[in-house]
Amino acid sequence: MAGYVLAIDQGTTSTRAIVFDDAFRILGVGQEEFPQHFPRSGWVEHDPEDIWRSTVATVRTALAAASLSAGDIAALGITNQRETTVIWDRDSGAPIHNAIVWQDRRTAETCGQLREDGVEAEVTGKTGLVIDPYFSGTKIGWILDNVSGARARAEAGKLAFGTVDSFLLWRLTGGRVHATDATNASRTLLFDIEANSWDDELLRLLRVPRSLLPEVRDCASDFGTTDPALFGAPIPILGIAGDQHAALLGNACFRPGMTKSTYGTGCFAVLNTGGTRCHSQNRLLSTVGYRLGGQTTFALEGSIFVAGAAVQWLRDGLKLIERAEQSGPMAAKASEGEDVYLVPAFVGLGAPWWDAEARGAIYGLTRNTGPNEFARAALESVCFQTGDLLGAMGRDWQGEGDRVLRVDGGMVSSDWTMQRLADLLDAPVDRPVVLETTALGAAWLAGFQAGVWPDQDGFSASWHLERRFEPAMSPVERGRKLAGWASAVKRTLTS
């Protein structure tokens, strides 16, 4: 069978479907944005039906663009925004509430109480995570406690929980499969990453009925087939991974010590630590990098909540730009004498600070500050935050490392941003030929499982560099800028 593989990349602001051929070339793409809902300050929701409709539509568009039918596709892989929480009725398949998005902070008080109760060490020991509203566990509890009758229905086995991958899998298979993969499970606060199982004590602690939970499978596994009525023929679903794990795979970071950073709505740096879990001393996350053949490869992860979202804020909030790609050229024109720092804590600060109550702040404004300086501050904020993450990883990881950072995501198309990233990191930054590495990682899982794509070594050999950005900033200038950023963050933190 021809090695055509379809990937669904269900993200925070849009859904994409991409068809790849057996040379990993993109043949067809479908993409749709969908609405964001902000019911209150710090709350972020999606309508699961918008996610579903956009998924079906983009798959059909991608197949048409590739001039292929569903019957031509050897395998389908799914990658998704992680931690976003959906609960639906098992009989009707209808969600009982909007999806609560990973960025949402409504359970900050609950998380604070859990920390005060002294249970964080136990939770971190099992899950590798910190107690934070970011993760799914407290979101599940909020829905069960705030939707009338939901907790009783859950305890009676009438409801199902899933991250977005699991919800899509349920819908794609016509309700026949309720499952997820180990990477998505590892982001719930409910999964013991060393025992590879849901943990009864964590379920009790967060008051989550076990009957809600999906079966956990390897990232490359048989997840059933799509309902033939959706696309004209059944497509085998053979791979699932959360978006950052899929990007680790898509960047061919199979060797311990390799690091990738993905720049989408948020920014996520992930370091492959191999078969050994690294216990962070710097409030990074120990997580499942991927699980293949029953064997777990672990990773260290740092999560930045606002990256590309800062550029969206320039466009949609401040109306300073009309298109995201304008931000780089504007930043290049900013006055070097204007040191403006944006700390984009719009929904709190992620790693390594984990301050859910912090809110965005701008420092260094003068009468000369204008749109160009705002653009540079927004882009530099992403670079500064990446530096904080990689610095923490370097202090945690004692194994062999690779100073080169592999990057992907929408923001990396900006030459100015990637050069400034290399300058502030004082390390090379490698941009690949295929920027859709998240979708490519999901496609590789499915294609590998189907036997039409190569193994890890063969796939690694296919990774090609488009451009390497080498640091060019003077040590004095770098030090000055990093000191200014550190001061800005310190003044923004609430504790």
Cα–Cα dist 373/310, whole Å:
14
Burial (0-12, 13-18, 19+ Cβ within 10 Å), 277: middle
Q: Rg of the chain over CA atoms, in angstroms?
A: 21
pLDDT the model gives residue 324: 85
Please indicate, yes or no, whether residues 222 and 260 belong to a single structural domain of this protein: no
The last residue of one of the domains, among 198, 222, 243, is: 243
Please name the residue ranges forming H helices in 294-398. Answer: 308-312, 327-332, 371-396
Phi, psi (deg, nearest 5) at residue 404: -75, 135
Cβ-proximal residues to 41 (8 Å cutoff; 6+ apart), any chain: none
Q: Is residue 440 part of a domain?
A: no
Tokens of 109: 């008080």
Please indicate, yes or no, whether residues 318 and 299 belong to a single structural domain of this protein: yes
pLDDT digit string (tens) for the chain, length 495 residues: 578 999 999 998 899 999 999 989 999 999 999 999 999 988 999 999 999 999 999 999 999 999 999 999 999 999 999 999 999 999 999 999 999 998 898 999 999 999 999 999 999 999 999 898 989 999 999 999 999 999 999 999 999 999 999 999 999 999 999 999 999 999 999 999 999 999 999 999 999 999 999 999 999 999 999 999 999 999 999 999 999 999 999 999 999 989 999 888 888 899 999 998 988 888 888 999 999 999 999 999 988 888 888 898 999 888 988 888 889 999 999 998 889 999 999 888 877 887 878 899 999 999 999 999 999 999 999 999 999 888 888 888 876 666 789 998 888 989 999 999 999 999 999 999 888 899 999 999 999 999 999 999 999 998 889 999 999 999 999 999 999 999 999 999 987
Cα–Cα dist 172/195, whole Å:
29
Please indicate, yes or no, whether residues 234 and 261 belong to a single structural domain of this protein: no
Q: Is residue 453 part of a domain?
A: no
Q: Is residue 38 part of a domain?
A: yes
Q: Is residue 233 part of a domain?
A: yes
Is the Cα dihedral 438, 52, 290, 444 positive or negative? negative
Quick: pLDDT tens for 398-407: 766 667 899 9
Please indicate, yes or no, whether residues 406 and 280 belong to a single structural domain of this protein: yes
Cα–Cα–Cα angle for 164, 170, 174, nearest 5°? Answer: 145
pLDDT the model gives residue 142: 97
Tokens of 361: 């702040």
The enclosing domain of 70 has a CATH number of 3.30.420.40
Beta carbons within 10 angstroms of residue 207's beta carbon: 14
Please indicate, yes or no, whether residues 270 and 378 belong to a single structural domain of this protein: yes
Is the Cα dihedral 380, 483, 269, 254 positive or negative? positive
The last residue of one of the domains, among 211, 243, 275, is: 243
Phi, psi (deg, nearest 5) at residue 205: -60, -40
Cα–Cα dist 286/283, whole Å:
9
Please indicate, yes or no, whether residues 313 and 217 belong to a single structural domain of this protein: no
Cβ-proximal residues to 410 (8 Å cutoff; 6+ apart), any chain: 263, 264, 308, 324, 435
Q: Is residue 446 part of a domain?
A: no
- Is the Cβ–Cβ distance between 166 and 214 less than 8 Å? yes
The last residue of one of the domains, among 224, 243, 262, is: 243
pLDDT the model gives residue 399: 67
Domain span at residue 313 reads 252-432+464-495
Please indicate, yes or no, whether residues 169 and 257 belong to a single structural domain of this protein: no
How far apart, in Å, are the Cα atoms of 487 and each of 345, 391, 393? 15, 17, 21
Q: Is residue 456 part of a domain?
A: no
Please indicate, yes or no, whether residues 121 and 237 belong to a single structural domain of this protein: yes
Cα–Cα dist 39/49, whole Å:
17
Q: Is residue 145 part of a domain?
A: yes
Cα–Cα dist 315/373, whole Å:
14
The helix/strand count (H/E) of the chain reads as 17, 22
Q: What is the amino acid identity at position 404?
A: V
pLDDT the model gives residue 1: 59
Please indicate, yes or no, whether residues 404 and 355 belong to a single structural domain of this protein: yes
Total structural domains in the chain? 2
Residues in the chain: 495
Please indicate, yes or no, whether residues 239 and 256 belong to a single structural domain of this protein: no
Quick: pLDDT tens for 247-265: 999 999 999 989 999 888 8
CA nearest 127: which of 182, 184, 192, 216? 192
Please indicate, yes or no, whether residues 258 and 211 belong to a single structural domain of this protein: no
Q: Is residue 459 part of a domain?
A: no
Please indicate, yes or no, whether residues 229 and 357 belong to a single structural domain of this protein: no
SS3 assignment, position 219: coil
